[in-house]
Amino acid sequence: MMASDQRRWWPLPVVSLVLALATIAGSLFWTDDAFPIAPFRMFSYGNRPDTVVRDTRVEGELETGEEIRVGWAAVGLRRAELEGQTHPNRRVPDENLEGLARVYNERHDPDLVHLQVVVRRVNMEGGKPQPNPTFTVIGDWAAEGYDGERVEVDLPLDEPMPGYRR
């Protein structure tokens, strides 16, 4: 490489350095909102060994009476995305539930007439998962005229999740 080329290209390593420093700053001070220079915080939450591990699922009842597990692709979301917008120990706002049923029914037949967001809770002791998980309904939506069994979700509605600013 000619010395003149090095002089001409001096901004390139500076660009790389600025990018690296911005990524480091993102990790130290910023949040997911700053993606792609956000903190690398996947698996950064170290839950206590004696705690509850939750995961969320969507279940539904079709107008034929058949009960189904609603796949995530069917509602256009990933599990972590629904969880990220819904505190797992609180109820899912009704308007968000209606949206899940709406997008499912737009692309599937027969229609859903009843939809529930269910949290599976696994107790941990000393970091070891215990048997017999429990299930809690945190959201219950039904179409007009639905006369099946419903779950009264009376958990207090928490403040909205702070989203990417958390």
- Contact positions vs other proteins (CB under 8 A): 1-2, 5-6, 9, 12-13, 15-16, 19-20, 23-24, 27-28, 32-49, 51, 53, 55, 72-73, 75-78, 80-82, 84-85, 95-96, 99-100, 102-103, 106-107, 122, 124, 126-129, 161, 163-164
Shortest gap between Cβ of 109 and other proteins (angstroms)? 15
Residue spans of beta strands (DSSP E) within 77-165: 112-125, 128-129, 134-142
Given the complex with other proteins, which of 48 and 145 has the nearer CB atom? 48
Report the helix count and the strand count for the chain, using DSSP H and E: 5, 5
Given the complex with other proteins, which of 15 and 65 has the nearer CB atom? 15
40 contacts 27 by C-beta, under 8 angstroms = yes
| Sign of the torsion angle spanned by Cα atoms 66, 72, 77, 81 | positive
| Sign of the torsion angle spanned by Cα atoms 153, 158, 160, 164 | negative
Shortest gap between Cβ of 108 and other proteins (angstroms)? 11
Given the complex with other proteins, which of 33 and 148 has the nearer CB atom? 33
Shortest gap between Cβ of 147 and other proteins (angstroms)? 26
Given the complex with other proteins, which of 10 and 149 has the nearer CB atom? 10
Shortest gap between Cβ of 151 and other proteins (angstroms)? 21
CB atoms within 10 A of CB 109: 7
Given the complex with other proteins, which of 106 and 152 has the nearer CB atom? 106
Shortest gap between Cβ of 91 and other proteins (angstroms)? 16
The CA distance from 107 to 160, in Å, is 29
99 contacts 117 by C-beta, under 8 angstroms = no
Cα distances from 98 to residues 92, 117, 157, in angstroms, run: 10, 11, 17
